[in-house]
Amino acid sequence: MKNILFFVITASLVFSMSFAVPSSGGKDCKYAGVKTCKACHKSKKRGDQYSVWASSKHAKAFTTLQTAEADKIAKKRGSDKPAAETKECLSCHVTGYNVDGAEFGKKFKKEDGVTCEACHGPGSAYKKLHNKKDKKDQAKEACFTVPSISDGSAKNLCVKCHNKNSPSYKGFDLNKFWSKIKHPMPK
């Protein structure tokens, strides 16, 4: 009897844990689109993370694929389609493409390239939670992530795209690259 109880408890723990892990496959977590974040993150007083992103290369990651140079690279890699329609290229140059079961809201545009949600998680459900101090845990359950530079989780994220599978890879130095896109919130 004890054994059965133990089994039931363990099994239900494992079961509930697999749901606590933020996953973009969850039905409430859709990629909402960068406009959703812009609404609140363009304020100077709060650090204007939107403008930092908009002037970064991440914002141009999709349009980069719409160039003759990109088509040439795609062709060399064996694609018979333009770069902007080649799966391999899209997997790093747009948001959510390489995520199993990813869902997208009405305002989402792949043309926006690598957006906030590529790094902070699909925001449709956490957008109303993460800005309230007492709801941070709920936000995390709703796919919100803040990768950290100091504990290495940010680097693990960057190198999902910044690696040798990128045809133009020239190495990745976290401090150097982060300094180009950092977007702190004034304390």
Q: Where on the chain is the footprint of ligand HEC (CB under 6 A)?
A: 32, 34, 36-37, 39-41, 49-50, 53, 57-58, 60-61, 64-65, 69-70, 73-74, 77, 83, 86, 88-89, 91-93, 114, 116-120, 123, 127, 130-131, 133, 146-150, 154, 157-158, 160-163, 165-170, 177-178, 180-181, 183-185
Matching residue, tokens 């059965």: 4
Return the C-alpha torsion angle 170, 172, 176, 177, nearest 10: 90
Closest Cα partner for 167 from 55, 87, 88?
A: 88
Give the contacts of 84 (CB within 8 A, at least 6 positions apart): 62, 65, 66, 70, 90
Residue 12 or 66 having the CB closest to ligand HEC: 66
**Residue whose Cβ sits closest to ligand HEC:** 123
Residue 12 or 165 having the CB closest to ligand HEC: 165
Min separation Cβ 3 and ligand HEC, Å: 42
**Cα separation of 39 and 20, whole Å?**
28
